[in-house]
Structure 1
């Protein structure tokens, strides 16, 4: 049907045909659109699916990498933990082995001491003093020499092998040699100060607190040659001549330039019997005697001293070190001896030598006209000078009766020698700070448990509360607790009532009676007492 035919159609029919054509055209267009739309949707879905797959792949890859990293971190942490555990076990094993070796070494020292004591030649010794010395030594490995200071008569030598045949590092006891040499050479003035070199401590406190820096300064100015000559003068480096076999001469440092020689005794070796002769010579104003054990009947009946030689030094060189030795016993490194009331003068020593710690204490008593010399040397992990001083204090307690019996005689024998008991001029912490903490006897110096080394605290900080007058420091509060003398103790005996004494090993309950309440108001209220309260009850207590 063409356009001409359409024109010839009637009007209604024409409208119908046109409408049909339009509808057909529209349907064709719609159909075409419907055919095109699914392809577009398919393309979009495919794209989204591809993107989702790609994202999922990336996510899986990222998750896999994260998981791998987590596993690697966990593996490394586990490996580190395993290594730490192995290191800890290794350290614990090393510590265990070290402790085992130490215990074996300590056991060997103690067993050696016991065996040597069993083999001691006790003929001629004072068996009462020997028993007291062995009891004082207790479970410590060491040796004890007890000798009459002025005659050289040996009362007992516990562990003669260590005392005569073995030589040890003298530790801080060598400071006595440095002090005497410094006094005689003028390096230390009679006032105790180091000449031309201001120092916080004087000789007395330096000896009492065993200050290393003081004696190293003196020793460096003195020189090794003079030091050795004074050591030989005092009986070191040679045999004493005691009537026991195989005596060791010790050793002196002829070519040593280490300052520790003058404070610690590095490269020096001495025997206990040499130290006894040396400290006796200091107390005897320079008289060197030969120690002897009275073996023969004639010696036992009437012992005569054997004079070896005299030391030609002024008396003040020997008397100059005695206040420091007294101070050591009263407030210094040897206060653990508890023998200050017996007028003991001594010097401690603590150092490492011969593979273990050494604790030494050399002493005489009483200070004026001395009667007894006691030397103690101990070896072991826990041994220090304060331990040796404690052992010596027990020996002096056994000698107390003899000292009291002869005290008047000895004091009246020579009234020209006047030695007063010193008091500390500085706080004990100053000596520690001056040494910079490098002092083996810090534990011996410190008197309170709460006192600790403070590196940030200077010497000037400690002297803030002290008033310095003429080189001497005074303080209002007491710095140390001085032990009371025997006479003071006897005058202040506290007598206990018989009812307070334990009976049959049982203590009565301790009852605290409450105080009456006081009313400060105007109206007096009736006084009410609370019920007594039992604080502590001890039963079946063994009385030692």
Structure 2
């Protein structure tokens, strides 16, 4: 794979901003004129030679700060693998199918939601899907943004897909544990995680196309989700994934929470990791999607995300104050006083 790092950092676009060439070069054709270039540098460097995409969002406003490999991120989507468990967990807690303390006996082992999320236990989430039933699983998935565009007026963005009926192969259990027959885009996962990170506001993701749009960016709310209690129920499991579970390669000094996903679709290996840094200042959502051969996995995607956060931390990104823009003022009303 040839490198196009110099061009993406200076804003030069080859082939137009929204063309769809092959995925051989993860930065080829990207439009970066409205991006946060410090974020982009870290994302490009962390992704390295992997065939994939990195999407970074400000969860307090819905502003997309960078998309590495726009042609992949804005396309038709991929099977979410185990990242669908985030939606299923929120649904199960909302419907009181389980509480955070509920322990299910599966295959001779008792486990609660925290352990099941951290270890990405398929039997646990297949059981939750069966207890919920397809209609409830689908209702909450669509509430969280599956099957609709996550962005607002983003050219070339696709809406992914959520099925109208449970999969013939494995039913609602396979859908709830592997995301069978669902197509998820990185933007959709970033939007859901932004709502978890900010306490329940599902923003339209907006992608400024130039520096003027960036400076004048104003957040747009899609809907507010009544999931504050449920967020408290899932965060220990998302933190556990990084501390001792499937995402341990992302672990570092600052708290990172997230969910991995690993599966195959059409003979292609997929690796997902959706995450955010659970801090008070300059919180970011970072979604990594990898496609390709056998080295591709959710743990590998988590390692890339960890490298991304680490690079920003080394540059003191999280120690600096957020620039005063209309979006920053709206997201932090205290700045107005």
Indicate the TM-score class for this superposition, using the shorter chain for normalisation. 0.7 to 0.9
The Cα shift of 1:185 comes to 0.9
Higher-Rg structure is 1
How many residues align? The count is 295
| Partners of 1:364 and 1:370 within 8 A in 2 | no
Task: Say which of 70, 74, 78 aligns to 1:164.
Answer: 74
Instruction: Name the residue aligned to 2:30.
Output: 120
Instruction: Name the residue aligned to 1:430.
Output: none
Task: Specify whether residues 192 and 342 from structure 1 end up closer, same or farther in structure 2 by C-alpha distance, changes over 3 A only.
Answer: farther
Instruction: Name the residue aligned to 1:247.
Output: 157
State how 1:259-278 maps to structure 2 within 5 Å: 259-278=173-192
The Cα shift of 1:115 comes to 4.2
The runs of 5 or more residues in structure 2 that have no matched partner are 1-20, 323-331, 333-337
2:115 is aligned with 1:205: yes
Deviations 1:398-435 (A, max 9, x none): 2222223359xxxxx8xxxxxxxxxxxxxxxxxxxxxx
The Cα shift of 1:199 comes to 6.0
The Cα shift of 1:194 comes to 4.8
The Cα shift of 1:300 comes to 2.4
The Cα shift of 1:225 comes to 0.8
Deviations 1:266-315 (A, max 9, x none): 011100011000111122222111111223554322432111111134x2
Instruction: Name the residue aligned to 1:359.
Output: 271
The Cα shift of 1:323 comes to 0.6
The Cα shift of 1:168 comes to 0.4
What secondary structure sits across from 1:332 in the alignment? Answer: coil
Instruction: Name the residue aligned to 1:489.
Output: none
2:129 is aligned with 1:214: no
What secondary structure sits across from 2:319 in the alignment? Answer: helix
The TM-score, its normalising length taken from structure 2, stands at 0.82
The Cα shift of 1:317 comes to 0.9
Task: Say which of 372, 385, 388 aligns to 2:301.
Answer: 388
User: 2 CA distance for matches of 1:182 and 1:406?
Assistant: 38
The Cα shift of 1:258 comes to 4.0
User: 2 CA distance for matches of 1:295 and 1:242?
Assistant: 12
Instruction: Name the residue aligned to 2:99.
Output: 189
Query: RMSD across aligned C-alpha pairs, in angstroms?
Result: 2.3
User: 1 CA distance for matches of 2:137 and 2:279?
Assistant: 26
| Partners of 2:100 and 2:113 within 8 A in 1 | no
What secondary structure sits across from 2:74 in the alignment? Answer: helix
Task: Specify whether residues 406 and 321 from structure 1 end up closer, same or farther in structure 2 by C-alpha distance, changes over 3 A only.
Answer: farther
2:143 is aligned with 1:228: no
2:249 is aligned with 1:336: yes
Task: Specify whether residues 298 and 131 from structure 1 end up closer, same or farther in structure 2 by C-alpha distance, changes over 3 A only.
Answer: closer
The TM-score, its normalising length taken from structure 1, stands at 0.52
| Partners of 1:334 and 1:389 within 8 A in 2 | yes
User: 2 CA distance for matches of 1:346 and 1:276?
Assistant: 11
User: 1 CA distance for matches of 2:41 and 2:280?
Assistant: 27
State how 1:516-531 maps to structure 2 within 5 Å: none
Instruction: Name the residue aligned to 1:11.
Output: none
Task: Specify whether residues 353 and 406 from structure 1 end up closer, same or farther in structure 2 by C-alpha distance, changes over 3 A only.
Answer: farther
User: 2 CA distance for matches of 1:158 and 1:170?
Assistant: 19
| Partners of 1:283 and 1:370 within 8 A in 2 | no
| Partners of 1:142 and 1:162 within 8 A in 2 | yes
Deviations 1:64-94 (A, max 9, x none): xxxxxxxxxxxxxxxxxxxxxxxxxxxxxxx
Task: Say which of 289, 292, 300 aligns to 2:203.
Answer: 289
What secondary structure sits across from 2:305 in the alignment? Answer: helix
User: 2 CA distance for matches of 1:394 and 1:386?
Assistant: 12
Task: Say which of 386, 398, 403 aligns to 2:311.
Answer: 398
State how 1:387-536 maps to structure 2 within 5 Å: 387-400=300-313, 401-405=316-320
What secondary structure sits across from 2:123 in the alignment? Answer: helix
User: 2 CA distance for matches of 1:387 and 1:227?
Assistant: 28
What secondary structure sits across from 1:319 in the alignment? Answer: helix
More helix by share: 1
Task: Say which of 141, 153, 161 aligns to 2:51.
Answer: 141
| Partners of 1:348 and 1:361 within 8 A in 2 | yes
| Partners of 1:142 and 1:159 within 8 A in 2 | yes
Instruction: Name the residue aligned to 1:279.
Output: 193
Report which structure shows greater RCO (CA 8 Å, sep ≥6): 2
| Partners of 1:349 and 1:384 within 8 A in 2 | yes
User: 2 CA distance for matches of 1:331 and 1:406?
Assistant: 32
